[in-house]
Amino acid sequence: MLPFDFRGAKALIIGGGTGLGAAMAEALLSHGAEVCIASRTETTLTQRSDELGRRHEARCTWASVDVRDPKSVESLFSTLAARYAGSLNILIDCAGVNLRNKVEDISPEEWDSALRGNLSGAFYLARFGLPLLRKGGWGRFILVGSVLARSAIALRASYGANKAGMLQLVRSLAVEWAPYGITANSISPGPFLTGITKGIAADKAAYQKVCERIPAGRFGEPAEIATACLFLASRQSSYVTGADIAVDGGWAAG
């Protein structure tokens, strides 16, 4: 079997309508997987699903979910159970809430919003997605974190704390799920050229200032996340679990 042969595999990508999630959806579809992209924004999902479906023989569908709400997440997996005959092979969480604020200015409401959109959302996906992953025959759970889980910068206390918590969640799931043949890993991206960084990329001075921290000297292109995704999602990565892959242009090493 070729390393990146995903024919017959069923995948769910939270946040798959935009940015890095969309790049991962494209990568999996182009290697034979059937993919469902999900988020809160139905307009974006329908447009991206139609676009990807035309290029990949209609193997891309969509579903609405709010990962902050456990009932919404549970409903999503009920929908997928009917759509995919009760099974799932690949579950990728690329959703996230990125708040920028000083610690003394973070309100309890802001803190809770970041917690629910990041760490709690990842837990809900693991909690309600496990039954489908167990029935898939082989399973891959991938959380998309951030270099800020290990490297702190100003104004990112809530975001960094949540992403660090997600790394520990991955380790715990790796230990608990190993007997089921399900791996749990994470990808920690550095700065990428997506909608979230559009403002910085448009400001040459701000862009260059951030690039000074990146040994590669630039932001990543969304397609550059694809290989890490394909590797961790593949059947051949079955002995890799509890790991984190930095895709950051050398940020963590610098």
> Active-site positions?
159
Give the domains, in start order, of the chain with CATH numbers: 10-192+222-249 (3.40.50.720)
Residue 229 Cα distances to 55, 101, 113, 192, angstroms: 20, 30, 27, 15
Q: Strand pairing partners for 144?
A: 187
Assigned token pair, 222:
């969304």
| Amino acid (1-letter code) at residue 58 | A
Note the pLDDT of residue 21. 96
Q: How far apart are CA 180 and CA 172, in angstroms?
A: 14
Confidence (pLDDT) at 229: 97
Q: Which tokens go with 38?
A: 């999900």
User: Counting beta carbons within 10 angstroms of the beta carbon of residue 126, is it exposed (0 to 12), middle (13 to 18) or buried (19 or more)?
Assistant: buried
Query: What's the confidence (pLDDT) of residue 96?
Result: 83
C-alpha–C-alpha distance, residues 143 and 167, integer Å: 8
* Amino acid 34: pLDDT: 96
Question: Could you list the mean pLDDT of each consecutive 10-residue stretch along the chain, which spans 254 residues?
Answer: 87 96 96 96 93 89 96 98 96 88 91 93 98 97 91 84 94 98 97 87 92 95 95 97 97 86
